[in-house]
C-alpha cells in the first residue's frame, strides 16, 4: 500500500503517544512497528521527556510526516504521557512505550472496537512478553476481555501494561484535571513514579461509567527487562498502597471492601517478580503478606498461587541452584493461567 | 380551575426535596394555577394508588423494589401524564459503587419507560442519562431545583477580606466527602481560621475522629435553618463524591459566600456560575486550593454566584410551568380539579 499523505490541516483519527527517555537502543524498532500498522490514519507523538541520550537522533532518521516530536523537561512517564495527550489530535489515543512493539493489526482492531461501541472508553488487548533482544519469552498476558468491573481493574489490572490501551479521547478527558501546582492538565497523576498506569485506570473506572473492554489477540509485545533490584519491589508496593489510598478518597466503601483481595493479588505479583530476581526470601515474605491480606488469590487461582509459593520455597531453600527448577515451575503455571 | 399535581415521595426523601416542593407550591404561577398534593409512599409498596390528578410527579428512588409500584402507577393512571425527577442517580454514583452496568441500565430503562418526561436536576446528569440511553433524549429535560432563597439573599455578602470561617453543610454521609475537606483543612489552615460542620449522620464518629485534637474544627449538628448556618461562615465547601445538583451551592451563592466544589456530577454546573472547582477531589487538591484562597480576592466570583442565584428561582418556576403546560390540559380545562 502506498504511503498516504496527511496534511496538517486535518486531524488524524488516531494518535499514538510514545514517551521516550533513554530509548535510543529500542525506539527504532518501536517506530517501525507503529509505521507498519495496517490502519494508517494516525500520528505518532514522540514525547522527548528530557532524555539525555541520542533518542531524538534516532527518531530524526524517520522522515514519515506522521511522526511529530514534542519536547519537555523531564517529568517521568506519567508526565510524558500527559505531554503527549496535550499535543495529540486524534479522537482515539494509544500509548506505546519506547521499548515495546505493536503487532501490525493492533490499531485497526482498537479503532474498529471503539467505532462499533460508543460506550467503550478504554480498549485494550493482551500482550506477549519479549526479552531485551526482542525474543519471545513464551509468556503472555491474556486477561479477561469483557464485563470488566472495578474489582477486576483493582485486583487483576486486565489492561496489563502501559502499551496495551487505546482510549477514546472524549471520555479520557473526563478524568483530567489541572492541579494547583502545575499549569498543565493531568490525565495521569504525575506524583506517581510507579503504579501510574493502574492509578489512572482505577480512577477512570471508579469515577466514570464508560466501559473498559478488551479485543481478542495478543497485540502488544511487551519488553520485560531481567534483573532489577529487590529494593524496587518494596518501593513498587509502597506506590501501590498510595494508589489504594487515593482510590479510597474517591470510593471509600468500595475500597474498604475490596482492598484486602486487591492487596493479596498485588503482593503475589510482586512475589513472582522477586522469584524472577532470584530473591527467594523476599518472595516468601511477600507471599506470606499476600495470604495474610486475603485468601482470594489462593481460592480463585490455586495453581498459580501454589506454583509461586513452590518456586519461592525452592529458591529460598536451595538458593540460586534451585532457580532453574523454580523458574520452570513458574513459567509453566504462568503460560497456562496468566 | 386549577390543575392538580400529585407529588410522590419516598418515606426516606431527603430534606432538600421537601423544601423544593414547598417552594414550588408557593411559587407565583405554579402555585396559583396548580394545587400540589404530596403523597408519601413506602419504598417497595406493591400496590399503586389510583390518583385523582392532572399530572403525577415522582420524586421516588428508582430501585428494583419500586418497579412493581411504578408499573402499577402507569397502569392505573393511563391518561395522566407522569414525570419523574431524578434526585439520586449520577455517573459518579454508579462508578464509585461499581454498580453492575447492564443490570442498572435495565432497571433505569424499565423504570423510566413508565414516564412521559424525565427531569434531570443538572445538565451533567441529563447528559449522562441521554448518553446511557436510559430514556429517549427528547423526553429528558433539565430543570435545576431551587428553594426559597430570600433568607439567603437577605444576608450581607462576604466580598472583602480573607475567608476565616469555612463550612460544610449536609448529612454526615460518606457521599458528602466531608472527611476529605476536614483532612485538607487540618493541613492547610492557619490558627485564626475555623471549620464549622453542620449536619448529622452515620459518619459522625469518623469525622469526629478526624477532627480530634484540632480546636479549630467544630461539628455543631444541624443549625435551626440552612440560612443560619451559612450566615455564620465566609465560605462553603462541597467536597461531594457524588451530587446530582447540590442545593447548598445555590444557597451559598445566594448568600454571597465563596463556594468551592469538587466538580463531580452536577457540581460541575456550579463551576460555570462562579464556583471554584478543585479539579481532583483529593485531600491534596483541597489542601492546595484552601491555601490559595486564604488571601481572598474572589469578590467577582461571589457576585457572579449571587446573580445566578437571583435568576435561579425564576428559572425554576418558569421551567416547571412550561413542563406542566406542555404535558397537561390547559388550565381551565383540567379534569381533576
- Mind telling me how many Å the CA of A16 is from chain B's nearest CA? 26
Per-residue pLDDT at A47 exceeds 80: yes
Its pTM stands at: 0.91
Give the per-residue pLDDT at A91: 98
Q: Do B95 and A207 touch (CB under 8 A)?
A: yes
- Tell if the CB–CB gap between B96 and A181 is shorter than 8 Å: no
Q: In this model, does residue A36 exceed pLDDT 70?
A: yes
Residue of B90, B95, B286 best to disrupt the A interface, most CBs of A under 10 A: B95
B97–A178: do the CB atoms touch at under 8 Å? no
What distance in Å separates the CA atoms of residue A325 and residue A314, rounded to the nearest whole number?
8
Q: For the range B109-114, what are the long-range contacts, defined as Cβ-Cβ under 8 Å and sequence gap of 24 or more?
A: B109/B133, B109/B134, B109/B135, B110/B67, B111/B62, B111/B66, B111/B67, B111/B70, B111/B84, B112/B62, B112/B84, B112/B139, B114/B70, B114/B71, B114/B73, B114/B74, B114/B82, B114/B84
Question: d(Cα A143, Cα A156) in Å, to the nearest integer?
Answer: 8
Mean pLDDT check: name the lowest of A31-40, A271-280, B130-139: A271-280
Task: Give the pLDDT band (50/70/90) at residue B12.
Answer: low
Q: What is the ipTM of this complex?
A: 0.90
- Of B132, B264, B288, nearest to A179 by CB-CB distance is B288
With a CB cutoff of 8 Å and minimum separation 6, the contacts of A91 are: A11, A13, A14, A168, A169, A170
CA pair distance B269, B246, nearest whole angstrom? 10
Three-state SS sequence of A107-140? HHHHHHHHHHCCCEEEEEEEEEEECCCCCEEEEE
Residues in B closer than 8 angstroms to A252, CB to CB, are: 174, 179, 241
Confidence at A252, pLDDT banded by 50, 70, 90: very high
pLDDT bracket for residue B44 (50, 70, 90): confident
Residue among A181, A249, A253 whose CB faces B282 most closely:
A249
Which of A177-186, A255-264, B53-62 is predicted with the least confidence, judged by mean pLDDT?
A177-186
Taking only the tens place, the pLDDT of each residue in B213-237 is: 999 999 999 998 889 999 999 999 9
Chain A residues inside the 8 Å CB shell of B289: 180
- How do strand A42-49 and strand A14-20 relate by DSSP bridges? parallel
C-alpha cell at B7: 407529588
Confidence of residue A295 (pLDDT cuts 50, 70, 90): confident
Q: Determine the residue among A152, A207, A212 to mutate to test chain B binding: the one whose Cβ has the most chain B Cβ atoms within 10 Å.
A: A207
Partners of residue A255 in chain B, C-beta under 8 Å: none
User: Chain A partners of B91 at a C-beta cutoff of 8 Å?
Assistant: 208-209
User: Which pLDDT score, from 0 to 100, does residue B15 have?
Assistant: 74
Q: Grade residue A87 by pLDDT with cuts at 50, 70 and 90.
A: very high
Among B100, B283, B292, beta carbon nearest to A249:
B283
Does residue B292 sit at the A interface (CB-CB below 8 Å)? yes
Residues A70 and A56: beta-carbon distance below 8 Å? no
Q: How far is CA B25 from CA B6, B48, B312, in A?
A: 11, 24, 16
Cβ-based contacts of A177 with chain B (< 8 Å): 263, 279-280, 285
Amino acid at each position: 500500500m502506498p504511503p498516504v499523505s496527511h496534511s496538517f490541516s486535518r486531524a488524524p483519527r488516531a494518535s499514538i503517544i510514545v514517551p521516550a527517555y533513554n530509548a535510543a537502543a529500542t525506539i527504532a524498532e518501536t517506530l517501525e512497528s507503529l509505521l507498519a500498522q495496517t490502519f494508517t490514519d494516525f500520528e505518532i507523538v514522540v514525547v522527548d521527556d528530557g532524555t539525555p541520550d541520542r533518542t531524538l537522533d534516532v527518531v530524526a532518521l524517520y522522515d514519515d510526516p506522521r511522526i511529530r516530536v514534542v519536547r519537555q523537561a523531564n517529568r517521568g512517564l506519567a508526565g510524558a504521557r500527559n505531554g503527549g495527550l496535550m499535543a495529540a489530535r486524534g479522537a482515539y489515543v494509544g500509548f506505546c512505550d519506547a521499548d515495546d512493539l505493536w503487532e501490525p493489526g493492533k490499531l485497526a482492531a482498537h479503532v474498529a472496537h471503539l467505532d462499533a461501541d460508543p460506550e467503550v472508553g478504554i480498549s485494550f488487548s493482551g500482550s506477549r512478553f519479549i526479552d531485551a533482544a526482542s525474543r519471545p519469552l513464551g509468556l503472555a498476558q491474556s486477561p479477561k476481555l469483557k464485563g470488566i468491573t472495578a474489582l477486576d481493574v483493582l485486583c487483576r489490572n486486565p489492561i496489563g501494561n502501559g502499551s496495551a490501551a487505546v482510549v477514546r479521547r472524549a471520555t479520557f478527558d473526563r478524568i483530567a484535571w489541572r492541579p494547583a501546582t502545575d499549569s498543565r492538565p493531568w490525565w495521569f497523576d504525575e506524583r506517581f513514579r510507579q503504579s501510574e498506569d493502574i492509578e489512572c485506570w482505577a480512577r477512570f473506572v471508579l469515577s466514570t461509567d464508560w466501559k473498559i473492554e478488551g479485543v481478542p489477540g495478543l497485540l502488544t509485545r511487551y519488553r520485560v527487562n531481567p534483573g532489577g533490584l529487590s529494593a524496587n519491589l518494596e518501593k513498587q508496593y509502597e506506590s501501590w498502597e498510595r494508589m489504594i489510598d487515593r482510590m479510597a478518597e474517591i470510593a471509600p466503601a468500595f475500597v474498604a471492601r475490596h482492598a484486602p483481595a486487591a492487596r493479596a493479588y498485588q503482593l503475589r505479583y510482586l512475589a513472582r517478580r522477586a522469584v524472577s530476581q532470584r530473591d527467594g526470601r523476599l518472595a516468601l515474605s511477600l507471599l506470606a503478606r499476600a495470604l495474610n491480606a486475603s485468601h482470594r488469590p489462593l481460592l480463585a487461582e490455586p495453581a498459580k498461587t501454589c506454583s509461586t509459593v513452590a518456586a519461592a520455597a525452592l529458591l529460598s531453600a536451595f538458593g540460586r541452584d534451585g532457580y532453574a527448577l523454580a523458574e520452570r515451575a513458574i513459567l509453566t503455571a504462568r503460560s497456562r493461567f496468566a | 380551575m386549577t390543575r392538580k399535581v400529585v407529588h410522590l415521595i419516598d418515606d426516606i426523601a431527603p430534606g432538600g426535596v421537601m423544601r423544593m416542593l414547598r417552594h414550588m407550591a408557593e411559587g407565583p404561577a405554579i402555585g396559583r394555577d396548580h394545587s400540589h398534593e404530596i403523597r408519601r409512599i413506602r419504598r417497595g409498596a406493591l400496590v399503586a394508588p389510583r390518583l385523582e390528578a392532572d399530572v403525577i410527579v415522582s420524586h421516588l428512588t428508582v430501585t428494583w423494589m419500586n418497579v412493581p409500584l411504578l408499573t402499577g402507577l402507569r397502569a392505573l393512571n393511563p391518561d395522566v401524564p407522569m414525570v419523574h425527577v431524578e434526585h439520586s442517580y449520577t455517573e459518579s454514583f454508579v462508578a464509585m459503587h461499581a454498580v453492575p452496568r447492564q443490570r442498572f441500565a435495565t432497571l433505569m430503562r424499565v423504570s423510566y419507560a413508565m414516564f412521559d418526561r424525565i427531569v434531570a436536576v443538572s445538565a451533567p446528569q441529563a447528559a449522562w442519562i441521554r448518553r446511557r440511553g436510559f430514556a429517549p433524549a427528547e423526553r429528558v429535560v433539565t430543570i435545576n431545583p431551587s428553594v426559597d432563597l430570600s433568607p439567603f439573599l437577605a444576608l450581607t455578602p462576604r466580598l472583602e477580606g480573607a475567608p476565616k470561617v469555612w463550612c460544610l453543610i449536609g448529612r454526615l454521609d460518606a457521599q458528602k466527602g466531608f472527611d476529605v475537606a476536614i483532612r485538607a483543612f487540618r493541613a492547610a489552615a492557619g490558627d485564626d481560621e475555623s471549620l464549622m460542620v453542620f449536619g448529622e449522620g452515620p459518619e459522625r464518629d469518623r469525622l469526629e475522629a478526624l477532627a480530634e485534637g484540632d480546636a479549630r474544627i467544630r461539628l455543631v449538628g444541624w443549625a435551626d435553618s440552612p440560612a443560619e448556618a451559612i450566615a455564620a461562615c465566609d465560605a462553603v465547601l462541597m467536597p461531594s463524591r457524588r451530587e446530582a445538583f447540590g442545593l447548598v451551592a445555590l444557597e451559598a451563592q445566594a448568600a454571597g459566600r465563596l463556594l468551592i466544589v469538587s466538580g463531580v456530577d452536577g457540581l460541575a454546573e456550579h463551576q460555570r456560575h462562579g464556583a471554584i472547582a478543585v479539579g481532583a477531589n483529593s485531600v491534596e487538591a483541597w489542601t492546595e486550593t484552601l491555601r490559595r484562597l486564604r488571601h481572598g480576592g474572589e469578590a467577582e466570583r461571589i457576585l457572579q454566584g449571587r446573580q445566578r442565584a437571583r435568576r435561579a428561582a425564576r428559572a425554576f418556576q418558569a421551567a416547571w410551568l412550561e413542563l406542566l403546560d406542555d404535558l397537561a390540559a390547559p388550565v381551565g380545562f383540567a379534569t381533576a380539579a
